[in-house]
Amino acid sequence: MKNRYILIIGAAILFSSSYFLHAQEECRVLIWSDEFNNAGAPNNQNWTYDLGNGDGGWGNREVQFYTNNSENVRVEDGNLVINAIKNNGGQWTSARIKSQGLQSFQYGRLEFRAKLPVGSGTWPALWLLGESFSQVGWPACGEIDVMEHVGKEPGKIHGSLHTTSSSGNTQNTGSTIISTFGTEYHIYSVDWTPQSITFKVDDITYYVYAPNPKDADNWPFNDKFFFIMNIAMGGNFGSDPQYETGGARNGIDPNLDFAEMLVDYVRVYQELTEAPPITGDSIVESFAKGLKYSVPIEGGSFNWSVPEGATITEGQGTSSITVDWGDTAGEVSVIIGGDCGIFNTSLSVQKKLTPIGPSIVFDNFEDGDFSRWTSEAGNGNSFELSEENGELRIIYNVSDPGQNPRLVFDLGQPVDVTTLSQMEITAKTNNTSGTVNMRLDLIDATGIETNATPVFKLEPLVDNGEYHTYTFNFKGNYGSSSPNAGAFADSTAIQGFKLFIDYGFFGSPGLDTIWLDLVEMLNPLATNTNELLNGGRINIFPNPARDVVNILIDGPMELKGNNWQLDLFNIQGKRMLTERLNNGVMRKELDVSILEPGLYLLKVSNETNQFVTKKLLIE
């Protein structure tokens, strides 16, 4: 069973000092850990590998070959398992895993709970290297050896620092004796502050490094460091001279063919100076069940609150809750109490819209409100917007297209457009300047844009002063090139779009006017035509309608053998009513008197998945 050190943060009531991790004056909390509870390969969100010759350019003259094979490294029975194995040819394989580029930390208590390998010639290490290693190299990046043990000196645990002023056979080192290193788990740790690094085994201090004065040569420990865990075999430090041959540092007990290190966990604790973040989904669907929210703290009091309509189903009073969401956005928040103060932290949660209809209208310009459109024209460029008669007029004056002048449209909430991948924009221009061109990029809730090739370019626009509908299917085209090269916008959480006008490489200075009539996304399988298969047609009258609307399916006799369904959706994709036409019935009168005036979408479908959509305006 894993030991857990519990720390309280904050308090509305008094708690005993047993909650403290080390001393009463400290208020440290667990900010990150890998508990190695999921069997298989090490978590690739935390760990990667050094592979190949163990010497690896370090000059340690180690003899093993590092692999990522499961026989050398895996997670099993709640432990990270690293095995050094001698094959039939006498070659040793082992593993070295690291958190470089994935997890790195600056200051705090860093600890490993581990059981070490036994045997002369083994050289296990639990250590950290400065994140600047790839820029400045070693030893300038700094190295913190939390635990090193060489099997030729059983039980002698070393803690060392390597810096520019003392590296290799460093003078900045200490040691202690742990006789049960190979039969029992022990906690190997450092307490790292801006002033000192203190080495401990099972919370007992055996070495403190605190140079004074500090400079770049003796204290490269003001930056982030990443973890490394490995078993080396032989080498300058690990080789046992009595077994060496040919002048090589290959002194390993010839009777040894296997060595194993078990790591129960790696943990990082840091002093609490501000409210910790809440982790959990920040974008949710209406009425989603079983959502998890937590803070990285154990112990203390926790008073959670959620928006109206949401329900905490488990965990109130603890550091982690389960929530069944309602139908509104809002904040998940918690007041954390303990001996060290009171902390209040929150997470803003947006409600995601998942349209169930065949289309969602982003803007139809019927309400006179264009506040969701903002201008990012750049210096020397301008946009003038006005909305009337169901259209948006854009008068633009672009003197510097290189600034990518654009309008940004915000949906107000994330929208799942996965099945509505076809974007349609209805626009007109006279193009009197001869410069009009546009481009449209979707933006997801994290800010990733669909600006990788291909993109939705509206160029050249038809310049006859009549409305034309321009379309683009984003399916497979959600890639981003800037500033998130290689990323993909999340089609399940689109927040809005950018409409570029006379932009960049394609643009030229100009003054002109563009009108927009409709911006929507729809299912590319849906059409806005009267045509059905086999020559049938859908007729809607009157349109616009007030109280009632008639739907007529007109066509050959074979169409009458279908059971038709009529679904009316608002422009947000919410189904407002459903009616069925029994076999042989081809006409239906719909009562729409209870619906608010506005634009609606009528979907007419049958059991063979044949369907069309029609726009219906209710006055």
Is the same domain home to 282 and 399? no
Is the same domain home to 394 and 345? no
Strand 283-285 and strand 341-352: the pairing is parallel
Tens of pLDDT along 210-232? 999 999 999 999 999 999 999 99
The CATH number linked to 445 is: 2.60.120.260
Q: Are 111 and 83 in contact (CB under 8 A)?
A: no
Residue 409 pLDDT class (50, 70, 90 cuts): very high
444 token code pair: 């997801």
Residue 21 pLDDT class (50, 70, 90 cuts): very low
Is the same domain home to 1 and 106? no
What is the count of structural domains for the chain?
A: 4
CA distances from 334 to 123, 271, 305, 416 (A): 46, 19, 6, 29
Q: Are 112 and 147 in contact (CB under 8 A)?
A: yes
Cross-strand partners of 229: 97, 126
Is the same domain home to 371 and 301? no
Q: Which amino acid is at 129?
A: L
513 token code pair: 């006017």
Is the same domain home to 108 and 167? yes
Q: Is residue 528 part of a domain?
A: no
Predicted local confidence at residue 111, as pLDDT = 97
Which one of 248, 270, 292 terminates a domain? 270
210 token code pair: 């605190």
Predicted local confidence at residue 57, as pLDDT = 52
CB atoms within 10 A of CB 46: 17
Predicted local confidence at residue 12, as pLDDT = 26
Which one of 208, 242, 270 terminates a domain? 270
Is the same domain home to 518 and 540? no
Tens of pLDDT along 337-391? 876 678 999 999 999 998 877 888 899 898 888 999 999 999 999 999 999 888 9
Q: Is residue 506 part of a domain?
A: yes
Tens of pLDDT along 527-546? 544 445 455 677 888 888 88
Q: How far apart are alpha carbons 379 and 48 in whole angstroms?
A: 46
The CATH number linked to 74 is: 2.60.120.200
The proportion of the chain whose per-residue pLDDT surpasses 90, expressed as a percent, equals 64
The CATH number linked to 330 is: 2.60.40.10
Catalytic residue among 143, 391, 424, 520: 143
Q: Is 257 exposed, middle or buried (0-12, 13-18, 19+ CB in 10 A)?
A: middle
Which one of 470, 497, 522 terminates a domain? 522
Q: How far apart are alpha carbons 30 and 575 in whole angstroms?
A: 47
What SS3 class is residue 501? strand
Looking at every residue in the chain, the average pLDDT score rounds to 88
Is the same domain home to 263 and 295? no
Q: Which amino acid is at 117?
A: P
Is the same domain home to 582 and 600? yes
Residue 194 pLDDT class (50, 70, 90 cuts): very high
The proportion of the chain whose per-residue pLDDT surpasses 70, expressed as a percent, equals 89
Cross-strand partners of 18: none
Is the same domain home to 437 and 571? no
Q: Are 508 and 502 in contact (CB under 8 A)?
A: yes
Residue whose tokens read 């006799």: 557
Predicted local confidence at residue 7, as pLDDT = 31
**DSSP secondary structure letter of residue 134:** H
Q: Are 64 and 256 in contact (CB under 8 A)?
A: no
Judge whether residue 13 has pLDDT over 70.
Answer: no
Tens of pLDDT along 106-156? 999 999 999 999 999 999 999 999 999 999 999 999 999 999 999 999 999
Is the same domain home to 424 and 505? yes
Q: Is residue 527 part of a domain?
A: no
Residue 5 pLDDT class (50, 70, 90 cuts): very low
What SS3 class is residue 237? helix
Q: Are 104 and 226 in contact (CB under 8 A)?
A: yes
Q: Are 103 and 128 in contact (CB under 8 A)?
A: no
Residue 619 pLDDT class (50, 70, 90 cuts): confident
Catalytic residue among 62, 131, 148, 391: 148
Q: How far apart are alpha carbons 399 and 420 in whole angstroms?
A: 36
Mean pLDDT on 267-293: 91
Predicted local confidence at residue 557, as pLDDT = 53
**DSSP secondary structure letter of residue 429:** -
Q: Is residue 183 part of a domain?
A: yes
Q: Which domain holds residue 153?
A: 32-270
Is the same domain home to 500 and 571? no
Minimum mean pLDDT range among 184-188, 345-349, 462-466: 462-466
Cα Rg for the chain, rounded, in angstroms?
33
**579 in active site:** no
Q: How far apart are alpha carbons 249 and 307 in whole angstroms?
A: 65
Predicted local confidence at residue 543, as pLDDT = 85
Q: Is residue 396 part of a domain?
A: yes
What SS3 class is residue 606? strand
Tens of pLDDT along 414-430? 999 998 999 999 999 99
**143 in active site:** yes
- Those residues whose C-beta lies under 8 Å from the C-beta of residue 521, and which sit 6 or more positions away, are 359, 360, 362, 417, 420, 421, 422, 423, 424
Tens of pLDDT along 33-89? 999 999 999 999 999 999 998 665 566 899 999 999 999 999 999 999 999 999 998
Q: Is residue 400 part of a domain?
A: yes
Q: Is residue 418 part of a domain?
A: yes
CA distances from 197 to 106, 214, 438, 603 (A): 12, 13, 58, 69
363 token code pair: 């803007």
Is the same domain home to 312 and 247? no
Predicted local confidence at residue 22, as pLDDT = 37
525 token code pair: 């399988």
